[in-house]
Amino acid sequence: MSNIISGKELSKTIRQTVKEDVAKLLEQTGKVPHLVVILVGEDPASLSYVTAKEKACVKAGMKSTLLRKDETITEDELLTLIRTLNDDPDVHGILVQLPLPRHIDENLVIETIRQAKDVDGFHPLNVAAVHLGLPGILPATPKGIMTMLKSTGMEIKGKNALVIGRSNIVGKPVAMLLLKEHATVTIAHSRTVNLKALALQADILVAAVGRANMVTADMVKEGAIIIDVGVNRVDDKLVGDVDFDAAKEKASFITPVPGGVGPMTIASLLQNTVECFKMIETK
């Protein structure tokens, strides 16, 4: 029987701290952090994500602007918009919601965002900082995952960690952050042979694949900490990558879906926006 790590509750505490930080920064500088979110196209899932990000910003006392662009926007037009925001002293964070239409090079878009305004932590210089273990803006989901792991009070050092998934947004950076905390890290993916044997060794298991219930209870080591990053729609219900009901009987700690990693990603984005503001306004 395990403890549930509630991202919903933990994120409330973080958002309250961010709100207090914003109030202090307003006193110090006369300004509040301003996040600009660019959404290209009409994808309903992307629209609901960016709406949640905007609402959270406003609730924390920050300024938020959503720029919606038609999916026919050219790559040049989008890059010009980003350059304008890079140079705008009233803007502290720029987030371009991914994925972008196929005619736009995502890497080029990410590289064009000024590093100090890269609230997503996707810019190559911020990615390099994570790999080198240097200070930089951490991508929001991995940052939220590390905050959740630390909230358990369990030691990460020396533990076997298995990250299932090798995306640039979650799998690779979370593996690096676990390594920085001295875990012994394995990254598994779609070509991994005998995933079950690896999973049974894992004291910490991070599932970030996007396949409903792919981690079953027979793959969980007794007492493991399980972080479920998956968000999958099954019969109009949101479920994670882990078979939660069965896995919770073996894990020591487990995150639910929904109410786990998702709210932590938003809370971490708010923290990043404050960090970018401080880099720009107070250094």
Query: Which residues in this chain contact ligand GUN in the complex, by CB under 6 A?
Result: 95-98, 120, 140, 169
Return the number of the residue (22 or 38) whose C-beta is nearest ligand GUN. 38
- Minimum gap (Å) between residue 73 Cβ and ligand GUN: 16
State the sign of the Cα–Cα–Cα–Cα dihedral 25, 273, 238, 254. negative
- State the CB neighbour count (10 A cutoff) for residue 42: 10
Return the number of the residue (99 or 158) whose C-beta is nearest ligand GUN. 99
- Minimum gap (Å) between residue 270 Cβ and ligand GUN: 13
Q: Which residues are catalytic?
A: 53, 97, 120
249 - beta bridge partners?
Answer: none
Return the number of the residue (210 or 259) whose C-beta is nearest ligand GUN. 210
Return the number of the residue (95 or 242) whose C-beta is nearest ligand GUN. 95
- Minimum gap (Å) between residue 136 Cβ and ligand GUN: 16
Q: Report which DSSP code applies to 221.
A: P
- Minimum gap (Å) between residue 53 Cβ and ligand GUN: 9
Pairing of strands 63-69, 93-96: unpaired
Q: Are 158 and 183 in contact (CB under 8 A)?
A: yes
Q: Phi and psi dihedrals of 160, rounded to 5? A: -85, 120
Helix segments in 153-248, DSSP class H = 171-180, 195-200, 244-247
Q: Report which DSSP code applies to 115.
A: G
Give the type of residue at 229.
V
Give me the residue whose beta carbon is nearest to ligand GUN: 98
